[in-house]
Amino acid sequence: MEKGFSYVRLLHAAPLAEPVNVYANDTLIAKNLKYREFTEYLKVKPETYNIRVVLARDNKTTVLDEKVSFIEGLIYTAAVIEKNELSLELITDTEREKYKDKAGLR
């Protein structure tokens, strides 16, 4: 893991939601993300980002708009989840480099 950065991947975990596009500070970071799909890990600066999730079919209808902060050296999964409405849940992951050739559960 490179010093001075955080790592984050996105997960679409809302079964009733359509495919989405995800923007961080108005930059597209995931396109046409479908239920149960993950992105690759993205290397990001440890700061606060405005995360906006829009429907992929029109790329206009905003279904989620939240600010999230990342801490240097941590690895995250940012999951789009559905309770009463869509929200973003940050899950702190563990670095798996030392176990990269072994199966694991969490």
**pTM metric for this prediction:** 0.86
Question: Is the confidence at residue 97, as pLDDT, over 80?
Answer: no
d(CA 68, CA 91): 12
Give mean pLDDT, residues 12-30: 97
Q: Which has the closest alpha carbon to 86: 32, 19, 26, 37?
A: 19
51 Cβ contact list (under 8 Å, min separation 6): 22, 23, 24, 64, 65, 66, 67, 68, 78, 88
Q: What is the pLDDT of residue 29?
A: 98
Mean of all residue pLDDT scores within the chain:
92
Provide the pLDDT confidence category of residue 101 given band limits of 50, 70 and 90.
low
pLDDT in tens, 41-60: 999 999 999 999 999 999 99
